[in-house]
Amino acid sequence: MKISRIAGAAPLARVALASAIFSLVSARALAETSCPSPSWTRVPSADDMIAAYPAKARKDGVKGLAILQCAAQADGSLAGCVVESEDPAQYEFGAAALKLAGLIRTTPPCSEAQAHGVRIPIRFALPAEAADERHREAVYKIPERRFRKFAPAGPYWPDRALLLDQGGHVTIQCQVAADLKLKACRLVWDTAPSLGFGDAVLRMAARGWMTAAPLPPGASEQAELWWTFEVDFAARSLADEDDWPGGPPRVIPVEPPDRQVLYKTTHAVAGLGPPGGYYPDAAARAGVPGAAVVDCRVNDDGALNDCTVFSAFPVGWGFDDSALRMAKDHYISAAPLPDGQSPAHARARLTIVYPKPQ
């Protein structure tokens, strides 16, 4: 599959005693392939970062992250910056980031979307941590057209975050193999752990959706080194119809399942697809399609046990309860793996799709 470097997915500035990671992300700008992504012409120096580091955070030994939303001016300066989020909230990392915004310059925007869609994550790291980190860009596979809105995560975008229109920022550390694949990855930072961003990035790395960018000419990979990768998730919404040719989809895109689903036919009902008689009554009457993702323990024969609902959409129509009943009644099971493959673990995620009733 073709791959492409996604601008803004990795740090663009490094300093010796503190680090700031800047990325330019705009939902519409990502789709404008004819409009080059802007790049930084000036970033804060090491002394600037030290001067801006919140005193209380330094005293308490706390690192932090602030995300700004700014407008890019024709002269490359930023204006109208506001704090989108800061973590931890009580240490004034947002105020520190606003002080740094005046020191940042970018290439002039080539579209109105870029002019109003500059999103800048700035991560503050303590001196010892910054000195030990080796930051590196990531390269991502190009999502198919229906997932372009969710670049760079594509189909791995956490559906819980999508339902709430929430974004996040994740830091992982990995070793890099000779073929640039990531291995032994560990989660370092997740600004919204309850929304699943950290889990999504670890799965992206494990499945080869994201790999490491090549080193400069003459440098060689050292398998024992740990590299730091930053992945930024700008908030996305299904309600933003301009990003969906023909209107937004009725069912959210869920990440690729670990195993495919097999259905029995004992409860088959014409017009309700594979779920048949388990299709939620209210949704069937209203003609509402949906999807549910369940996390289950899979027996050797494919039977599902100890299932929990990872996500379901639309909320409130009973797709979550339906999926659990199908698993409990053994109406669904996990399909066998291809010849020569063995399950990586005893649990797996499976996606149950409820097509629009006919």
Residue 39: C-alpha distances to residues 72, 94, 175, 257, 275 (Å): 11, 22, 27, 36, 49
Residue 56's CB is within 10 A of a number of other CB atoms, namely: 10
Count of positions (residues) in the chain: 358
pLDDT attached to residue 196? 82
The angle formed by the CA atoms of residues 290, 291 and 296, to the nearest 5 degrees, is 155
pLDDT attached to residue 44? 80
Architecture of the structural domain at 261-354: 2-Layer Sandwich (3.30)
* pLDDT tens-digit series, residues 96-148: 999 998 888 887 777 666 666 677 888 887 655 554 567 888 999 888 776 77
Closest to 38 measured CA to CA, from 66, 73, 3 = 73
Q: Given this structure, which CATH class describes domain 9-133?
A: alpha beta
pTM attached to this predicted model: 0.46
pLDDT attached to residue 195? 77
Positions in the chain short of pLDDT 50:
1-34, 131, 239-254
Closest to 28 measured CA to CA, from 119, 104, 107 = 119
Q: Where in the chain is the domain with CATH 3.30.2420.10?
A: 9-133, 134-250
Q: Where in the chain is the domain with CATH 3.30.1150.10?
A: 261-354
pLDDT attached to residue 343? 61
For residue 105, what are its two tokens? 């310059």
User: Percentage of the chain with pLDDT > 70?
Assistant: 73
Superfamily of domain 134-250: TonB (3.30.2420.10)
pLDDT attached to residue 25? 37
pLDDT attached to residue 104? 86
